[in-house]
Chain A
Amino acid sequence: MPDRKLRILVAKPGLDGHDRGAKIIARALRDAGMEVIYTGLHQTPEMIVSAAIQEDVDAIGMSIMSGAHMTLFPAVIDLLGKEDAKDILVFGGGIIPDADIPKLKSKGVAEIFTPGSSTQDIVKWINEHISTRA
Chain B
Amino acid sequence: MVHSAKKLVAAKRRPAAKPASKKTKAKATVAKAPAKRAAAKKIPVYDAAGLRAQAKLLAGWEKHALAKSTEKVPNRRAAFTTDSGIPIPDLLTVADRKGESFDALGLPGEWPYTRGTQPSMYRSRLWTMRQFAGFGTPKDTNQRFKYLISQGMTGLSTAFDMPALMGYDCDHPMSRGEVGKEGVAISTLKDFEILFDGIKLDQVTTSMTINASAIVALAMYVAVAERQGVPMAKLGGTIQNDMLKEYIAQKEWIVAPRPAVRIVTDMIEFCSRHMPKWHAVSISGYHIREAGATAVQELAFTIADGIGYVEECVKRGLPVDEFAPRLSFFWDVHNDFFEEVAKFRAARRMWAKIMRDRFGAKDPRSMMLRTHAQTAGVSLTAQQPYNNVVRVSLQALAAVLGGTQSLHTNSLDETYALPTEDSVTIALRTQQLIAHESGVDRVVDPLAGSYYVEYLTDEMEKRAFDYIRRIDELGGIIRAVEEGYPQKEIGESAYRHQREVEQGDRLIVGVNAFKSASPAPINLLHIDDRLAQEQQDRLADVKRTRDAAKVEAALAKVEAACRGTDNLMPVVIDAVKAYATLGEISDVFRKVWGAYREGGIF
Contact = CB atoms under 8 A, between A and B. Distances in A.
Interface of A: 10, 14-20, 22-24, 26-28, 36-42, 44, 66-72, 75, 95, 97, 114-116, 118-120
Contact of B178 (A15, A23, A37, A40): A15
Given A67-B181, A70-B177, A120-B502, A40 B597 contact: yes
Contact of A116 (B175, B291, B383): B383
B86 interface: no
B165 A15 contact: yes
B417 A97 contact: yes
Contact of A66 (B162, B168, B597, B602): B162
B173 interface: yes
Contact of A27 (B173, B378, B495, B501): B495
A19 B251 contact: yes
B445 interface: no
B176 A75 contact: yes
A70 B527 CA distance: 12
A17 B251 contact: yes
Q: Which of B175, B382, B501, B597 has the most CB of A within 10 A?
A: B382
A28 B497 CA distance: 13
A23 B496 CA distance: 12
Contact of B494 (A24, A36, A42, A71): A24
B334 to A, nearest CB: 14
B599 interface: yes
A118 B511 CA distance: 10
A46 to B, nearest CB: 9
Given A17-B250, A116-B511, A40 B382 contact: no
A39 B498 CA distance: 22
Interface residues of B, number: 44
A45 B373 CA distance: 36
Nearest to B246: A17
Contacts of A41: 251, 598
Contacts of B502: 118-120
A22 B498 CA distance: 12
A72 B177 contact: yes
Nearest to A19: B251
27 contacts: A10-B602, A14-B162, A14-B176, A14-B178, A15-B166, A15-B252, A19-B251, A19-B291, A20-B291, A20-B494, A23-B494, A26-B602, A40-B600, A40-B601, A41-B251, A42-B166, A66-B182, A67-B181, A68-B178, A69-B177, A71-B529, A97-B417, A97-B524, A114-B382, A118-B501, A119-B502, A120-B502
B382 A72 contact: no
B495 A40 contact: no
Contacts of A26: 602
B491 interface: yes
B416 interface: yes
Given A15-B174, A116-B511, A20 B290 contact: yes
B325 interface: no
A118 B510 CA distance: 14
B498 A24 contact: yes
A73 to B, nearest CB: 10
A15 B251 CA distance: 9
A23 B602 contact: yes
A22 B598 CA distance: 14
A15 B162 contact: yes
A37 B165 CA distance: 27
A16 B597 CA distance: 14
Nearest to B596: A42
Contacts of A42: 166, 174, 597
A69 B181 CA distance: 11
Contacts of A115: 381-382, 415
Nearest to B382: A115
Given A42-B166, A66-B182, A116-B381, A15 B290 contact: no
Contact of B181 (A23, A37, A66, A120): A66
Contacts of A18: 250-251, 290-291
A74 B83 CA distance: 40
A24 B495 contact: yes
B381 A67 contact: no
Contacts of B600: 37-40
Interface string B351-385: 00000000000000000000000000010011100
Interface string B399-438: 0000000000000000111000000000000000000000
Contacts of A22: 602
A18 B250 CA distance: 6
B155 interface: no
Given A17-B252, A38-B600, A40-B597, A68 B382 contact: no
Contacts of B501: 118
A15 B498 contact: no
A97 to B, nearest CB: 5
A24 B182 CA distance: 23
Contacts of B178: 14-16, 66-68, 71
Given A116-B383, A116-B511, 14 more contacts: A15-B162, A15-B165, A15-B166, A15-B178, A15-B252, A17-B252, A20-B378, A20-B494, A40-B598, A68-B177, A72-B177, A95-B416, A97-B417, A119-B498
A127 B529 CA distance: 36
B384 to A, nearest CB: 10
B175 A15 contact: yes
Contacts of A27: 495, 602
A9 B501 CA distance: 25
B306 interface: no
Given A17-B251, A20-B291, A95-B417, A71 B177 contact: yes
Contacts of B383: 116
Nearest to A121: B502
B285 interface: no
B56 to A, nearest CB: 50
